[in-house]
C-alpha cells in the first residue's frame, strides 16, 4: 500500500473521510463496551512537539495505548526541529526507530519535509496553516449531535486561522454549509478559500464570508469559536483584542441563533475574551465532549494509517 500521511483534510476524498469517521465511531463504541482490540500491537509513534498541548499529547498517547501500540513524547528542547537539527535528518532518523510520526509545529513546511524524508506516515497535530485532527473531532461531535454532517449550518466566529481552515475543509468536503464572520484583515487564506469553493461544487455546500457575526448565526446549528491570540501572536495581543471584541460568543449572540444551536471551541479558551463562562458552561456548549472526541477521531486516523482499516 502506498504510504499515506494525514497532513490536511483537503488531501482526502469524501469517502475516505467518512470511512475514517466510521472507524472512529466504531472504536469509540468498542472502547465503551469493554476495550479496544490491540490492532496496533507492535506499532510505535514519535510525538514531536514544537508547541505544547494538553489534548494533542494526551489523546495521542492514550489512543495508541488503547489500540495496543506505544507513543512517546519528544519536547521542543529534545528535538529542536529545524534549529538544533535539520528537519530532513530528524525525519530519516525517526523512520529507523518508529512506525509513524505525529508533529505539532509552527511552520507547515516542516510537516511537508517530515513526510517527504521519513517514508513513514506523518500526522499533522497542528501547524500555522491548518489543524486537521481537530476538524475530524469536530465532525464526529456534530454527527453525534445531529446524526449527520451534510446540510448542517456551521458558523465560525473569529479569526480565519488554522482551525477555521480545517473546519471549512471538512464542511465543504462532506456537504455542510460553512460561514465565517471575522474582522477585516483577519480573513481566511485565499488558497484555502479557493480549494473550499472547489470542494463545495462537488458536495453542494454553501460558503458565506462576512464581517457580521449576527448575520451568520441566524440559521446556525453550530457556533464555533477559537482564541483570538494563538501561540506566536503575543506581540499582536492588544491590537487583536480590540479588533475582536464585537466577535465574542456571548449569550446575546447565542440567543440570536436557533434554539437547538450547539457551541463549540477547540480549546484552550480564554474565558471572558472569545467566549463567556455563561456560554462555555451553559446548556448549548459541547466543548468538553468535543475535546474528548479528539481521542476517538485520532484513533480512527491511526487505525486507517497503521492498521489499514
Give me the active site residues, please. Answer: 104, 131, 134, 226, 266, 294
> Which among 131, 156, 145 has a CA at the least distance from the CA of 289?
145
The residues near 281 (Cβ < 8 Å, ≥ 6 apart) are none
Residue 136 CB neighbours (<10 A) = 26
Buried/exposed 137-171: b ≥16 CB within 10 Å, e otherwise:
bbbbbbbebbeebeebbbbbbbbbbbbbbbbbbbb
* 3-state class (DSSP) for residue 299: helix
Helix axes of 132-146 and 287-306: crossing angle, nearest 10 degrees: 120
> Which among 220, 288, 213 has a CA at the least distance from the CA of 259?
220
Cβ–Cβ < 8 Å for 56, 131: no
Cβ–Cβ < 8 Å for 207, 197: yes
Instruction: Please state, in angstroms and as integers, the Cα–Cα distance from residue 38 to each residue in 57, 103, 128, 299, following that order.
Output: 20, 23, 33, 12
Answer positive or negative: Cα dihedral of 244, 128, 44, 25. Answer: positive
Cell of 218: 441566524
**Longest distance between any two alpha carbons in the chain, whole Å:** 55
DSSP H or E segment with residue 263: strand 262-265
3-state secondary structure 195-261: HHHHHHHHHCCCEEEECCHHHHHCCCCEEEECCCCCCCCHHHHHHHHHHHHHHCECHHHHHCCCCCC
Cell of 177: 454549509
Amino acid at each position: 500500500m502506498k504510504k499515506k500521511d494525514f497532513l490536511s483534510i483537503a488531501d482526502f476524498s469524501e469517502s475516505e473521510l467518512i470511512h475514517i469517521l466510521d472507524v472512529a465511531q466504531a472504536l469509540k463504541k468498542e472502547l465503551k463496551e469493554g476495550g479496544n482490540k490491540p490492532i496496533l500491537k507492535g506499532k510505535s509513534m514519535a510525538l514531536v512537539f514544537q508547541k505544547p498541548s494538553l489534548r494533542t499529547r494526551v489523546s495521542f498517547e492514550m489512543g495508541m495505548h488503547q489500540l495496543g501500540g506505544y507513543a512517546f513524547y519528544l519536547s521542543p528542547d529534545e528535538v529542536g526541529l529545524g534549529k538544533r537539527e535539520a528537519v530532513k535528518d530528524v525525519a530519516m532518523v525517526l523512520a529507523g526507530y518508529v512506525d509513524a510520526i505525529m508533529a505539532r509545529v509552527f511552520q507547515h513546511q516542516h510537516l511537508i519535509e517530515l513526510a517527504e524524508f521519513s517514508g513513514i506516515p506523518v500526522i499533522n497535530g497542528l501547524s500555522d496553516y491548518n489543524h486537521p485532527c481537530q476538524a475530524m473531532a469536530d465532525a464526529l461531535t456534530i454527527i453525534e449531535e445531529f446524526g449527520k454532517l451534510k446540510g448542517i449550518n456551521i458558523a465560525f466566529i473569529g479569526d480565519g486561522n488554522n482551525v477555521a481552515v480545517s473546519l471549512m475543509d471538512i464542511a465543504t468536503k462532506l456537504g455542510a454549509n460553512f460561514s465565517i464572520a471575522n474582522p477585516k484583515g483577519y480573513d481566511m487564506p485565499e488558497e484555502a478559500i479557493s480549494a473550499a469553493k472547489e470542494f463545495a461544487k462537488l458536495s453542494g455546500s454553501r460558503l458565506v464570508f462576512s464581517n457580521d457575526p449576527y448575520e451568520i448565526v441566524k440559521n446556525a446549528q453550530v457556533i464555533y469559536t477559537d482564541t483570538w491570540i494563538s501561540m506566536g501572536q503575543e506581540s499582536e495581543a492588544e491590537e487583536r483584542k480590540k479588533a475582536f471584541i464585537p466577535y465574542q460568543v456571548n449569550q446575546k449572540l447565542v440567543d440570536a441563533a436557533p434554539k437547538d444551536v450547539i457551541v463549540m471551541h477547540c480549546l484552550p479558551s480564554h474565558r471572558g475574551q472569545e467566549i463567556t463562562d455563561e456560554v462555555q458552561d451553559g446548556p448549548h456548549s459541547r466543548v468538553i465532549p468535543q475535546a474528548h472526541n479528539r481521542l476517538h477521531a485520532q484513533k480512527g486516523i491511526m487505525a486507517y494509517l497503521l492498521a489499514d482499516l
